[in-house]
Amino acid sequence: MITELTIITREGQTYALLRCQWCPTQIEAPVDMKQIEAWRNGAMIQTAMPQLSKDIREMFISGTCPKCWDDMFPPPNDEDDPGWE
């Protein structure tokens, strides 16, 4: 879980500013403070922030952007796939 979270408000909308811990990528995720509090108090992130994509929710959890995640955990190619499901 990200320990430090920057919250900004612009034009009446609240955003969490998320920075990848591996590269310069940063995004602004639209949230409200009730969602942040629910997540920090133990709610599963997909329950607390259902409007966000799984990639953005992963940034909240691990601080890893989608590109860095794919670089670290590339999908298996057909030659390496043992066929498990």
Q: What is the pLDDT along the chain (85 residues), one digit of tens a residue?
A: 666 789 999 999 999 999 999 999 999 999 999 999 999 999 999 999 999 999 999 999 999 999 999 999 987 776 655 655 5
Query: Around Cβ 59, how many Cβ atoms within 10 Å?
Result: 25
Q: How far apart are the first and last CA of the chain?
A: 28
The pLDDT score that the predictor gives to residue 83 is 58
The pLDDT score that the predictor gives to residue 76 is 75
Which two structure tokens, joined as six digits, stand for 10? 């612009």
The pLDDT score that the predictor gives to residue 10 is 92
Burial class (CB in 10 A: 0-12, 13-18, 19+), 64: buried
Long-range interactions of 77-82: CB distance < 8 A, separation 24+: none
The pLDDT score that the predictor gives to residue 82 is 62
